[in-house]
Amino acid sequence: MVGVGNTAEVFDYGDDKVCKLFYEGYPKEAVEREYRNAKEVERLGFSVPKVFKLVESEGRIGIVYEKIVGKSMLECIFENPGEADAYLEQFVRLQKEWLSCAPEQSASVFSYKVYLHMLIKGAGQEVETSLYDEINALPEGDTLLHGDFHPGNIMITAEQRYVVIDFMNVCHGPALYDIVRTYLLLKEKDETFGRAYLAMMEVSEGTITVFCSVLEKCRRYEIYGK
């Protein structure tokens, strides 16, 4: 076994490949969505693992990817805290590359609002109607978004290749959605690091108040559903 996550286990799969095998009972449509998203971002030329095929094993569904040998950026920051600023600069550069994708290239993935609706509906607890209204009131957008951009989803190889992984949440919407999502995830770990990220993205806290309020509420359902 190569790794274990909230939704899947990762196993070696022949030469230079791995299989991300989702846990039994995990929705097939969600796995198929990740596969389609992975194929799309690979087609667009981003630095991502090659994706090969969907597989089934003992009632579980998996995706076969190129094996990326290295460490996550999160691991590298923990091991080299004095280089955290340099890693953050690379992190911001990578995210800006994603957010610069031409609008027509995001047409094949669904809206971030659809994703947020699915997220809170799937958490297994009652949702206040007002939260749906707050999501619907957020701005539209056509930027290609990763949806879960954080240092744990950036792999760094020995050759210093930076590779983005995990495509379950890929969607389209305003760039601020991806930025605020990243900011909140970073702030959970280290508030100072989160604020440094926001400064590098040239976004002020005052411009993201509404997004923060809505996404913090949605985040509670995400944590509950894991």
pLDDT in tens, 92-135: 999 999 999 877 777 789 999 999 999 888 766 677 889 999 99
The count of C-alpha atoms lying within 13 angstroms of the C-alpha of 129, restricted to the half-sphere facing its C-beta, is: 0
Kindly state the DSSP code that residue 207 receives in the 8-state scheme.
G
Which pTM value belongs to this model?
Answer: 0.92
User: Is 60 exceeded by the pLDDT of residue 208?
Assistant: yes
Contacts 24+ apart (CB under 8 A), 88-96: 88/193, 88/196, 88/197, 88/200, 89/200, 90/162, 91/151, 91/154, 91/197, 92/197, 92/200, 92/201, 94/47, 94/154, 94/162, 94/164, 95/146, 95/149, 95/178, 95/179, 95/182, 95/201, 96/201
User: So what's the pLDDT on residue 222?
Assistant: 82
User: So what's the pLDDT on residue 225?
Assistant: 45
How far, in Å, CA of 211 to CA of 13, rounded?
40
Lowest mean pLDDT among 19-33, 65-79, 101-115, 142-156: 101-115
- Give per-residue pLDDT as tens, 43-96: 999 999 999 999 999 999 999 999 999 999 999 999 999 999 999 999 999 999
* Terminal alpha carbon distance of the chain: 21
Q: Could you tell me the domains of the chain?
A: 3-66 (3.30.200.20), 70-225 (3.90.1200.10)
User: So what's the pLDDT on residue 102?
Assistant: 76
User: Is 80 exceeded by the pLDDT of residue 223?
Assistant: no
